[in-house]
Amino acid sequence: MSKRALITGITGQDGSYLAEHLLAQGYQVWGLIRGQANPRKSRVSRLVSELSFVDGDLMDQSSLCSAVDKVQPDEIYNLGAISFVPMSWQQPELVTEINGMGVLRMLEAIRMVSGLNGSRSDGGGQIRFYQASSSEMFGKVAETPQRETTIFRPRSPYGVAKTYGHFITRNYRESFGMYAVSGMLFNHESPRRGAEFVTRKISLAVARIKLGYQDKLSLGNLDAVRDWGFAGDYVRAMHLMLQQDEPGDYVIGTGEMHSVRDAVRIAFEHVGLNWEDYVSIDPSLVRPAEVEILCADAERARTQLGWEPSVDFPELMRMMVDSDLRQASREREYGDLLLAASW
């Protein structure tokens, strides 16, 4: 009998890749949807015939209990979150409610549906829970590279909320014997990344500049350094974490650092342009408290999970630019057809 997985945030970048991966593994996949008018449901539109959906809201405890009880999943992947870090300074309460308290509500839903009432369980036959933790928890880093034992110094309301979600997941594991793990994922991108994120902002701009739709690209801190990988690789790690005999937390990343400047250079070079002719600095885009350097030590994931990334950073940026070139070209062709029809 095939396993059942419930994914919160199924219409996001990671949720769509994870749904594809689990379907390929023979899972029955359910997505938690807050209402049917989700603007990003198109991300999984090609999978709709293979997916099931259940109503639920990370801000509503009773809806989560109902969803878990209805689906009766073997595994829950909590990817639902407000994932754009700068937004957390603009709406810190909302981000904390979803990214922090939403984790607690989902853990409580599992506890109540599973009948865990204060005594530790042996974990047999339990719902297994994955929490999407973040490299932003490391913040003003205490050491480089960062590993599972590195202390957290978050530098944004987003990072603080994710840190709460991480610790409450560990607490439920230790308090109730729940099979609950956290993946401390470093930055992971793809052509499905939202346009507000810097890598996608770059790839979109490069495509539009190459095709003559845009003149300039405004960015903030070009010297910020990140460990960027491919989202399709990282969802494999999520799944592997829930297949282990014992629950544990893992850092997931490539171990390679690149600056925003590197991302810009690679993207513009891919289309034969000099980035310095098109990029300008906008101080308003610099974060109030910047995280300067993030780099993963994923040795534990490599040795215990057998996980390795398959896409390097230059390949990732070129993949994103090519995708956006195709998209922008289709939009131009559609615009030309509309113009022709108007005549």
* Catalytic residue IDs: 163
The distance of Cα 45 from the centroid of its chain, to the nearest Å, equals 19
Tell me if residue 37 falls in helix, strand or coil: coil
Please state, in angstroms and rounded to a whole number, the distance separating the CA atoms of residues 257 and 293: 8
The distance of Cα 162 from the centroid of its chain, to the nearest Å, equals 12
3-state helix, strand, coil in the chain (%, to 5): 45, 15, 40
Please state, in angstroms and rounded to a whole number, the distance separating the CA atoms of residues 31 and 313: 30
Please state, in angstroms and rounded to a whole number, the distance separating the CA atoms of residues 257 and 285: 21
The distance of Cα 280 from the centroid of its chain, to the nearest Å, equals 28
CB 263 within 8 A of CB 198: yes
Q: In this structure, which amino acid lies at residue 186? A: F
